[in-house]
A and B are shown apart, each in its own frame.
Chain A
Amino acid sequence: MKRLAILAMIAALALTALPAVLAEVPAHPSELKYGPLDFKVPDPAKYRHELPGGMVVYVGEDHALPLVDLSITVRAGAFLDDPAKPGVAALTGRMLRRGGTKTLSAEAFDEKADFLAAQITSFASDTSSGASFNCTTQTLDACLDLFFDMVRNPAFDTERLALEKENILEGLKQRNDDAGTILRREWGWLMRGRDHFTSRQITAAELDSVSRDDLVAFHEKYWLPKNMMVTVSGDVNTEAILGTLAERFAGWKSEGPDVPWPPKAPAHSPTPGVYYVDKDIPQGKVFIGHLGMQDADWSNPDRYAVAVMNEILGGGGFTSRITNRVRSDEGLAYSAGSRYSVGRFWPGAFRIVFQSKSATVPLAAKISLEEVRRIQSEPVSKEELNIAKASFIDTFPQAFESIESIVNTFANDEYIGRPHDYWKKYRDRVRAVTAKDVQQAAKKYLHPDQVVFLVVGKWDEIVKGDPDGRATMKEFFDGKATRLPLRDPLTLEPLP
Chain B
Amino acid sequence: MTTRTRVILGVVASFLVLAGALAPAVAETSANLPVETFTLDNGMTFLLVPKPELTTVTAGWVAHVGSANERPGITGISHLFEHMMFKGTHVIGTRNIERDLEIIAEQERIQQQIRKLTEEQKARWRKGEIDDPFAAENRTPELEELQKKFDALAEEQASLMVKNEFDKIYTGEGGSRMNAFTNRDMTVYFITVPANKLELWFWMESDRLAHPVFREFYTERDVVHEERRLRTESTPTGKYQEQFEAMFWESHPYSWPVVGWPSDLRAISKQQADDYYDTYYAPNNLTAAVVGNFDPKEVKRLAQEYFGTIPRGSQDPPQVVTMEMEQLAEKQMIAECDCQPQVEILYHTVPFQHRDSYALDVLAELLNGRTGRLYKSMILDQKIASSASASQQSGKWEGSFSFYGETKGEATPEALVKAWNEQIARLQDEPIPDEELQKVKNQILASSYRRLSSPFFLMLQLLYFDGLGDWQYVNTWTDKTLAVTAEDVKRVANEYFKAENRAVARYYRKAGTKAEEVPPELADLPAPMRQSMLNQIKQVRASTDLERLEKGLEGLQQQKQQVPPQFKAALELMEKTLRQRIEELKSGEQTAEGGE
Residues of chain A having any CB pair with chain B under 8 Å:
1, 4-5, 7-8, 11-12, 14-15, 20-21, 23, 25-30, 32, 34-39, 64-67, 105, 107-108, 110-112, 114-117, 134-139, 141-142, 163, 166-167, 170-171, 173-174, 176-179, 204, 281-283, 285, 316-319, 324, 327-335, 355-357, 383, 386-387, 390-391, 393-395, 397-398, 400-402, 467-468, 488-491, 495-496
Contact = CB atoms under 8 A, between A and B. Distances in A.
B376 to A, nearest CB: 8
Given A138-B28, A163-B383, A394-B174, A117 B443 contact: yes
A287 B224 CA distance: 21
A324 B513 contact: no
B386 A117 contact: no
Contact of A11 (B171, B236, B297): B297
A226 B295 CA distance: 47
Contacts of B426: none
Nearest to B379: A163
B428 to A, nearest CB: 24
B54 A401 contact: yes
Interface stretch (B281-289, B447-455, B581-589): B447-455
B88 to A, nearest CB: 11
Nearest to A62: B53
Contacts of B308: 20-21
Nearest to B19: A138
Contacts of B195: 37-38
A341 to B, nearest CB: 19
A32 B200 contact: yes
B26 A117 contact: yes
Contact of A65 (B371, B380, B453): B453
B contacts with A: majority SS: helix
A177 B174 contact: no
Interface string B259-296: 00000000000000000000000000000000000010
A496 B449 CA distance: 54
A142 B226 contact: no
A162 B454 CA distance: 37
Interface of B: 3-4, 7-8, 10-12, 14-15, 18-19, 23, 25-28, 31, 52-56, 86, 91, 136-137, 158, 163-164, 166-169, 171-174, 176, 192, 194-197, 199-200, 203-204, 216, 219-224, 226-227, 229-230, 233-236, 295, 297-298, 300-301, 304-306, 308-309, 338-340, 369-371, 379-380, 383, 386-387, 406-409, 435, 438-439, 442-443, 445-447, 449-450, 452-455, 513-516, 527
Contacts of A174: 236, 339-340
A32 B136 CA distance: 47
Contacts of B438: 115
A1 B52 CA distance: 8
Given A174-B340, A177-B338, A115 B11 contact: yes
A357 B226 CA distance: 7
Nearest to A386: B172
A12 B304 CA distance: 12
A65 B298 contact: no
Nearest to A140: B18
A328 B216 contact: yes
B298 A107 contact: no
Contacts of A178: 235-236
Given A177-B513, A395-B174, A490-B516, 20 more contacts: A11-B298, A32-B199, A36-B196, A38-B55, A67-B453, A110-B371, A137-B27, A138-B18, A138-B28, A142-B15, A282-B234, A319-B171, A334-B223, A390-B174, A391-B171, A397-B194, A401-B55, A402-B453, A468-B136, A490-B515
B176 A29 contact: no
Nearest to A393: B174
A15 B304 contact: yes
A15 B454 CA distance: 32
Given A37-B55, A115-B25, A386-B172, A328 B164 contact: yes
